[in-house]
Amino acid sequence: MNGRHGPEITALYHGQNAEVDPHDFMTRVDAAIQQVHNTPKAPGVVRTWMPGEQEYVMREHNRALGIPLSEETLNDLMKTAKAVGVNLSPCGSDLDG
């Protein structure tokens, strides 16, 4: 298994006959996913998503670039940090104001 399939696929696999080869099963799952991805799309639709795919893509994006925070949330975190004595200067001068 290549790690990009989540618990939904694991549950499917465990629900199958114990005689099913894991590699063959994942090959069939990947083929089914490609079939969904390749279905014709309505005008304006760029991609057909499988359950859990959007979350996977967002998780990987956030791991690479960080979790985006609104200015309000960032300000609240900074106020709380200062209130409990956290030194913000290692974070950069733009956060220490």
- Reduced to 3 states (helix: H, G, I; strand: E, B; else coil), residue 39 is coil
Q: pLDDT class for 59, splitting at 50, 70, 90?
A: very high
pLDDT at residue 19 in the model: 73
Q: For residue 2, is it within any domain?
A: no
CB atoms within 10 A of CB 5: 19
The pairs formed by 39-47 with CB atoms below 8 angstroms and a separation of 24 or more are: none
Q: For residue 70, is it within any domain?
A: yes
| 2 pLDDT above the threshold of 50 | no
Domain count, the chain: 1
Q: Which residue has the higher pLDDT, 3 or 37?
A: 37
Range of the domain at 22: 7-95
Q: For residue 1, is it within any domain?
A: no
pLDDT at residue 18 in the model: 61
Q: pLDDT class for 69, splitting at 50, 70, 90?
A: very high
CA torsion, ordered 45, 46, 49, 53, to nearest 10 deg: -140
- pTM for the structure as a whole: 0.54
Q: pLDDT class for 80, splitting at 50, 70, 90?
A: very high
Q: pLDDT class for 66, splitting at 50, 70, 90?
A: very high
